[in-house]
Structure 1
């Protein structure tokens, strides 16, 4: 009876096993680093997007309102008049540092600027930076730039508004003043102050001021 020679079988020795484990750990470590990097990038992107959205929403509200400033429901009635009445909604007031703006427009189209303090609708609008809360505030009941009684528009627990500035870019043609304003708004996340963004917008008021 012939005997068959079985092939010699051998496994990993200790050194080979340790080398294999080390290579495997390196691969896993590299993959883990990539995953962590992706998560960190996504988190940072979400933070930036959140802040951008908040700032742009505030900017949109301010520009939308300011663009309407000076609208007067009786303006057409004054065309051709020998003694035209002055527009009670014409005035736009800026604070010296540009961090507060006050204006009005005829929201109910009745031609009258509603008297203070509690006549509705409130046709006196405005926005300002409150440096104590680091928030943008919206005007209430016709308050002045330095008065109390304004209401927070932004949530200081979520974002800090670090800068708010409105600069006039007026063109006076003699009889008419074309009013345009550049608005700059800067904010940062309360949870991560390193995430900071600035948005800008230029607003042309639709209703020119008659000099």
Structure 2
């Protein structure tokens, strides 16, 4: 009888208290695992948003930098610096103009360069370029590039990346007098005395990811126009 009672005591299983304690511990483990999984998903989402934002902004900045450097290119630029003959005069560069609208949030930059296979010395409609940021309407937050007269192309998809600020600052140094190069030297400031303008523009882009509003990046770049602007003549 004693052995039978001992056998039954060993086979009675878990008590209700032991079962509840085990379930509670299991729930804590599951909750911890779910929390870790959710945190990993959130971090992965933030990393994807950050990578997409940085890639979009870098692509825009690289495109702007390479293209703006071409501002003022003219196939017959020698005509603007050299006049052969007693009555000859130098020609004006039709592509020289660069228009920068300074703004801390929505600047505009426009410029021109020649695309002629045979230079025609005329500013054509397909030789006008620029950048602007839309701040209102259905395309608010979209950066656009001017690819021809009144033809703007989107550079980013606002469903993923919103450009919140586009700042343009003209950081060009003072004009450099070239009067000392003339056969008869002219002093700086003398009417029509030749000058050279070195043009540089500081650009700041700020963007935000639509996938994660906490992901915000700012990118700064400085662009030096390769074709210096000259005015006046000897």
- Name the TM-score, length of structure 2 as normaliser: 0.72
Please tell me whether Structure 1 or Structure 2 has the larger radius of gyration of its CA atoms: 2
> Structure 2 CA distance, aligned partners of 1:36 and 1:49?
20
Which residue matches 2:225? 205
Which runs of structure 1 show a deviation greater than 4 angstroms over 4 or more consecutive aligned residues? Answer: 76-80, 113-117
Q: 1:152 aligns with which of 151, 154, 162?
A: 154
Query: Does residue 9 in structure 1 map to residue 13 in structure 2?
Result: no
> Structure 2 CA distance, aligned partners of 1:25 and 1:156?
42
Q: Which runs of 5+ in 1 are unaligned?
A: 144-148
Q: 2:96 aligns with which of 86, 90, 95?
A: 90
Deviation at residue 9 of structure 1 after TM alignment: 3.4
Q: Report how many residues are paired.
A: 198
Deviations for 1:63-85, whole angstroms, at most 9, x for unmatched residues? Answer: 11101111222224656545432
Q: Which runs of 5+ in 2 are unaligned?
A: 178-194
The answer to whether the 8 A contact 1:137-1:152 is kept is yes
The answer to whether the 8 A contact 1:128-1:137 is kept is yes
> Structure 1 CA distance, aligned partners of 2:162 and 2:90?
46
> Structure 2 CA distance, aligned partners of 1:17 and 1:150?
69
- Name the TM-score, length of structure 1 as normaliser: 0.79
- Counterpart of 1:68 in 2: which secondary structure? coil
Which residue matches 1:146? none
Query: Does residue 125 in structure 1 map to residue 129 in structure 2?
Result: yes
Q: 1:45 to 1:113 in 2, by over 3 A?
A: farther
Q: 2:115 aligns with which of 94, 103, 107?
A: 107
RMSD: 2.7
